[in-house]
Amino acid sequence: MFDYYNEGFNSCAPLWLLIAMARKLLLHDDGTTRMVKEVMVFDDPRKLKLALSGISWKILNMLSEREMYPLQIARELGVHAQKVYYHVRKLAKAGAIAVVRQEGKKGAIAKYYSATAPAFAVELPYGYKPVEWALPAWVGEPLRRFFSEFLREDGVFDGKIVVGSP
């Protein structure tokens, strides 16, 4: 039950923690390129509140860039280590960060943390809209000509492709 899960995330958050939060995709379309980012949707908005305080937000941003241990974070932020440990524990409990590795440092064990997802969100139960997908720019001209009678004016494929064997 406490196996570590690494697929799709830049850390190894406990599997039971990831089950409690949904993973969704965030689509960004600027008119020329489409990009997708994985978003961890919190099941309880109170967990997201933990990341919204000033120092927690700074810690989360630092851990999204690279893995660090709490004392290292405290030194970079110029704050007391206990304050960082407090916020790190809260962020870990919320599932926003997780231990990715441990290393011996001056007789103690340093736990390196990293963000568990590139983005976090709270989702409300409405607002979905259908998305139409046009042919991507990398589709060559010969292929476009071949499918031309099935492409609408906006470049969206309007047809059916039947796959099978006789």
Return the H-helix or E-strand segment holding 112: strand 108-115
Question: Quick one: how far is CA 65 from the chain centroid?
Answer: 13
Establish if 38 belongs to a structural domain. yes
Q: How far is 10 from 26, CA to CA, in rounded Å? A: 17
pLDDT in tens, 38-59: 888 877 777 767 667 789 999 9
Token pair belonging to 128: 């979905």
Token pair belonging to 164: 């099978």
Establish if 165 belongs to a structural domain. no
pTM over 0.85: no
pLDDT in tens, 54-79: 899 999 999 999 999 999 999 999 99
Return the H-helix or E-strand segment holding 144: helix 141-146
Number of folded domains in the chain? Answer: 1
CATH number of the domain residue 67 falls in: 1.10.10.10
**pLDDT score at 14:** 43
Establish if 9 belongs to a structural domain. yes
Establish if 164 belongs to a structural domain. no
Establish if 55 belongs to a structural domain. yes
Establish if 52 belongs to a structural domain. yes
**pLDDT score at 1:** 28
Q: Residue 134: which pLDDT band, with cuts at 50, 70 and 90?
A: low
Q: How far is 116 from 109, CA to CA, in rounded Å? A: 21
Establish if 108 belongs to a structural domain. yes
Please state, rounded to an integer, the average pLDDT across all residues of the chain.
78
DSSP symbols for 68-98: B-HHHHHHHHTS-HHHHHHHHHHHHHHTSEE
Establish if 141 belongs to a structural domain. no
* pLDDT higher than threshold 70 for residue 10: no
Structural domain that includes position 68: 4-124
